[in-house]
Structure 1
Amino acid sequence: MSSPLKPIRPHWAGLAACVFGLSGVVLGALGAHALAAHLEASGSAEIWHTAAFYHLVHAVAMLAWSVGAGKYSRSQLPGWLWGAGILAFSGSLYLLALGGPRFLGPVTPVGGVFLIAGWAVAGAVFLRTKSIPGRDA
């Protein structure tokens, strides 16, 4: 499967996944501790927790894809989509939870579409894969 974006080398994809994972843990901890009182008072705690959850889940997906994608496909498109989705979906939710401008509201579902598209493309890669290395075809 060819990608409309130039494939990046797997170690860069893994590094990006680690940066997203690290930032997800830090932001989750900030929401649970340093910002907890502010988020509770503003009624935004659940928004923050949703952002952190999707942030971390997709950081792990990016890491898994960066490690395993070379076995099935050279496509890095799922990783790009998940990265863009984390930035748009979780990023807009973090900012909205902190009282960011309301025009960010429509960015959140766009980010969600990127996250969903990443999964769809990953699934398509596996549908196109005739056999898994190391397993019977």
Structure 2
Amino acid sequence: MNHRWIILWGAALGASAVTAGAFGAHGLKNLLPPASLEAWEIAVRYQLIHAMTLLILFALAQLLDSRLIPRAAQLMTVGTLCFSGSLYLLALTGNKWLGPVTPLGGSLLIAGWLTLFYAGLKTKTGAV
């Protein structure tokens, strides 16, 4: 089973979250209003949390024979891109039309977590 894309996305999201966090703290601190900086920080936080989650899902995908683990990873990857990406753009541009993309991303993140929950329910005892 080759789920290399999970670790690649996890690493890419992790590295870019640290970069975005540093950019927000140093490059945007004096340029953006507090509300925009807060949105930026939320985006970084969620991106980093889900980058780490993808790395955990990669490990689980190696241990469990479940098609649900990669599905959860896909949902979390797209959800992170939509959620954090829309908040980054909203913080930088102030474009309100991006607003609906954020809850869509959040919904995909929730769906990813629920898919992982379902995978746990379907895992047979002693499978790990």
The unaligned stretches of length 5 or more in structure 2 are none
- Determine if contact 1:55/1:90 at 8 Å carries over to the other structure: yes
1:16-62 CA distance string (max 9 Å, x none): 110011111111111111111112x3631110111000000001111
How many pairs align? 126
Matched residue, 1:3 = none
Q: What TM-score results when the alignment is normalised by the length of structure 1?
A: 0.85
CA distance in 2, matches of 1:17, 1:88: 15
Q: In terms of mean alpha carbon deviation, does 8-17 or 50-59 score higher?
A: 8-17
Any idea what SS the aligned residue of 1:50 has?
helix
Aligned to 1:64: 56
Q: Which residue in the other structure is 2:71 paired with? A: 77
CA contact (8 A) 1:51 1:94 kept: yes
Q: Which runs of 4+ in 1 moved over 6 A?
A: none
* TM-score, with structure 2 as normaliser: 0.91
Q: Percent same amino acid among aligned pairs?
A: 43
Q: Confirm or deny: 8 A CA contact 1:10 1:67 kept in the other structure.
A: no
Residue of structure 2 equivalent to 1:38: 31
Aligned CA-pair RMSD = 1.6
AA aligned to 1:34 is: G
Unaligned runs of 5+ in 1: 1-7
